[in-house]
Amino acid sequence: MRTIVAASAVLILAVLPVAAPWLQFVLTLAIAKGFAALGVAVLLRAGLISIGHAMFFAASAYGVAFLARAGINDLGLLLILSVLAAALLGAIAGLFLVRYRAIFFAMLNLAVSMVFYALCAKLYSVTGGTDGMTVPVPAVFGVVLGEPTFKSVLFYISLALMLLVGLAIQRYLNSPLGHALAAVHSNEIRLEYLGIPVWAVLLVAYVVSAALAGLGGAIAGFAIGRVVPDFAFWTASGHLVLIAVLGGIGGVPGAFIGALFLELLHSVAVTVTDAWNLIVGLTLIVVIMFLPQGFYGLFSRKEASSL
Amino acid sequence: MSNAIIPLLLDSLASAALIFFAAVGLTLVFSVLRVLNVAHGSLYSIGGYVAASLCLFIASRQLNPYLSFAALLFSAVFVAAIFGPLIERSLVRWTYGKSEAVQILITFGLFLMLEDLQRMIFGVQSFYEDAPMRLLGTLTIGGVVYLNYQILLIGMALLVVISLRLLVNHTRLGRLITAVVTDREMAQSIGIDTNRIFILAFSLGVFLAALGGALATPTSGIAPGLGADTMVLAFAVAAIGGLGQIEGAAVASLIVGVARVLAIYLVPSLDAVAPYAAMLVVLLIRPYGLFGSMTARRI
Summarised one tens digit per residue, pLDDT across range B11-57 is: 888 888 888 999 999 999 988 888 888 899 999 999 999 988 888 88
| Whether residue B125 has pLDDT greater than 70 | yes
Between chain A and chain B, the number of residue pairs with CB atoms below 8 A apart is: 121
- 8 Å CB contact of B269 and A122: yes
Q: Given B102, B115, B120, which is nearest A288 (Cβ)?
A: B102
Question: A276 or B167: whose pLDDT is higher?
Answer: B167
Q: Does B92 touch chain A (CB under 8 A)?
A: no
Element holding A134 (H helix, E strand)? strand A133-134
Res A306: pLDDT: 63
Mean pLDDT computed over A71-83: 87
DSSP labels, A161-186: HHHHHHHHHHHHHHSHHHHHHHHHHH
Q: Are A205 and A42 in contact (CB under 8 A)?
A: yes
Mean pLDDT computed over A157-171: 90
Res B294: pLDDT: 57
Question: Quick check: helix, strand or coil at residue B222?
Answer: strand
Question: A6 or B251: whose pLDDT is higher?
Answer: B251
- How confident is residue B72, by pLDDT bands cut at 50, 70 and 90? confident
Mean pLDDT computed over A173-185: 86
A109 to chain B: closest CA residue:
B280
Mean pLDDT computed over A156-165: 90
- Rounded to two decimals, the ipTM of the complex is 0.85
Mean pLDDT computed over A142-150: 81
φ, ψ of residue A306 to 5 degrees: the values are -125, 180
Q: Is A203 part of any domain?
A: yes
| Whether residue B208 has pLDDT greater than 60 | yes
Q: Which residues of A touch B252 (CB under 8 A)?
A: none
| Whether residue B295 has pLDDT greater than 70 | no
- How confident is residue B87, by pLDDT bands cut at 50, 70 and 90? very high
Give the number of other Cβ atoms within 10 Å of residue A21's Cβ: 12
Q: What is the pLDDT of residues A188-220, one digit of tens each?
A: 888 888 888 888 889 999 999 999 999 999 999
Res A207: pLDDT: 94
- How confident is residue B222, by pLDDT bands cut at 50, 70 and 90? confident
Give the percent of chain B with pLDDT over 70: 96
Res A305: pLDDT: 63
- 8 Å CB contact of B94 and A289: yes
- 8 Å CB contact of B113 and A277: yes
**Residue (of B11, B7, B25) closest to B233 by Cα position:** B25
Q: Which residues of A touch B113 (CB under 8 A)?
A: 277-278, 281-282
> What's A74's DSSP letter?
B
- How confident is residue B293, by pLDDT bands cut at 50, 70 and 90? low
Interface test with B, best of A116, A237, A241, A288 (most B CBs within 10 A): A288
Question: Quick check: helix, strand or coil at residue B142?
Answer: coil
Q: Are B132 and B55 in contact (CB under 8 A)?
A: yes
φ, ψ of residue A90 to 5 degrees: the values are -65, -40
* Cα gap B223→A68, rounded to integer Å: 36
Specify which residues B139 forms β-bridges with. Answer: B146
**Residue (of A132, A122, A95) closest to A220 by Cα position:** A132
Q: Does B96 touch chain A (CB under 8 A)?
A: no
The pTM of this model reads 0.87
Specify which residues A143 forms β-bridges with. Answer: A140
Specify which residues B222 forms β-bridges with. Answer: B127
Q: Are B230 and B9 in contact (CB under 8 A)?
A: no
Question: A255 or B141: whose pLDDT is higher?
Answer: A255
B102 to chain A: closest CA residue:
A307
Q: Which residues of B touch A96 (CB under 8 A)?
A: 284
Give the number of other Cβ atoms within 10 Å of residue B79's Cβ: 26
**Residue (of B152, B181, B220, B211) closest to B24 by Cα position:** B211
Q: Does A8 touch chain B (CB under 8 A)?
A: no
Q: Is A265 part of any domain?
A: no
Q: Given B100, B113, B120, which is nearest A106 (Cβ)?
A: B100
Q: Which residues of A touch B243 (CB under 8 A)?
A: 103
Q: Does A87 touch chain B (CB under 8 A)?
A: no
* Cα gap A67→A294, rounded to integer Å: 38
* Cα gap A153→A150, rounded to integer Å: 5
Q: Is residue B180 packed enough to be buried (19+ CB in 10 Å), middle (13-18) or exposed (0-12)? A: buried
Res B297: pLDDT: 45
Indicate if the alpha-carbon torsion angle A145, A149, A153, A154 is positive or negative: positive
Specify which residues B138 forms β-bridges with. Answer: B147
- Please calculate the CA angle B209-B104-B40 and round it to the nearest 5 degrees: 10
- 8 Å CB contact of A103 and B243: yes
Q: Which residues of A touch B283 (CB under 8 A)?
A: 104, 107-108, 111
Question: Quick check: helix, strand or coil at residue B288?
Answer: coil
| Whether residue B182 has pLDDT greater than 80 | yes
Question: A80 or B6: whose pLDDT is higher?
Answer: A80
Beta strands (DSSP E) in chain B are: 138-141, 144-147
Mean pLDDT computed over B138-144: 73
**Å between B18 CA and nearest CA of chain A:** 20
Q: Does B280 touch chain A (CB under 8 A)?
A: yes
Q: How far is CA B245 from the centre of its chain?
A: 13
Q: Are A37 and A237 in contact (CB under 8 A)?
A: no
Question: Quick check: helix, strand or coil at residue B30?
Answer: helix
Q: Are B24 and B164 in contact (CB under 8 A)?
A: yes
Q: Does A285 touch chain B (CB under 8 A)?
A: yes
Res B299: pLDDT: 52
- 8 Å CB contact of B108 and A242: yes
Q: Does A289 touch chain B (CB under 8 A)?
A: yes
Q: How many domains does chain A have?
A: 1
Q: Given A118, A121, A282, which is nearest B113 (Cβ)?
A: A282
Half-sphere exposure of B48 (CA within 13 A, CB side): 32
Q: Is A244 part of any domain?
A: no
Q: Which residues of A touch B112 (CB under 8 A)?
A: 277-278, 280-281, 284
Domain of residue A140: give its range. Answer: 2-232
- 8 Å CB contact of B116 and A276: yes
Give the percent of chain A with pLDDT over 90: 21
Q: Given A47, A275, A285, which is nearest B116 (Cβ)?
A: A275
Q: How far is CA A227 from the centre of its chain?
A: 16
Q: How far is CA A181 from the centre of its chain?
A: 18
- 8 Å CB contact of A242 and B280: no
**Å between A184 CA and nearest CA of chain B:** 14
- 8 Å CB contact of B109 and A282: yes
Mean pLDDT computed over A290-300: 75
- 8 Å CB contact of A115 and B91: no
Q: Does A280 touch chain B (CB under 8 A)?
A: yes
**Residue (of A264, A173, A186, A185) closest to A212 by Cα position:** A173
Mean pLDDT computed over B205-209: 93
**Residue (of B221, B296, B291, B278) closest to B24 by Cα position:** B291
Res B3: pLDDT: 65
| Whether residue A274 has pLDDT greater than 50 | yes
Q: What is the pLDDT of residues A213-247, one digit of tens each?
A: 999 999 999 999 888 988 988 888 988 998 888 88
Res A307: pLDDT: 65
Mean pLDDT computed over A292-300: 73
- 8 Å CB contact of B273 and A282: no
| Whether residue B136 has pLDDT greater than 80 | no
Q: Given B100, B113, B287, which is nearest A278 (Cβ)?
A: B113
Question: B138 or B294: whose pLDDT is higher?
Answer: B138
Average pLDDT of chain B, as a whole number: 85
Q: Which residues of B touch A104 (CB under 8 A)?
A: 283, 287-288
- 8 Å CB contact of B104 and A241: yes
- Please calculate the CA angle A46-A50-A55 and round it to the nearest 5 degrees: 135
* Cα gap A243→B197, rounded to integer Å: 34
A105 to chain B: closest CA residue:
B287
| Whether residue A56 has pLDDT greater than 90 | yes
Mark which residues 42-81 of A lie under 8 Å from B by CB. 44, 47, 49, 51
| Whether residue B187 has pLDDT greater than 80 | yes
- 8 Å CB contact of A49 and B101: yes
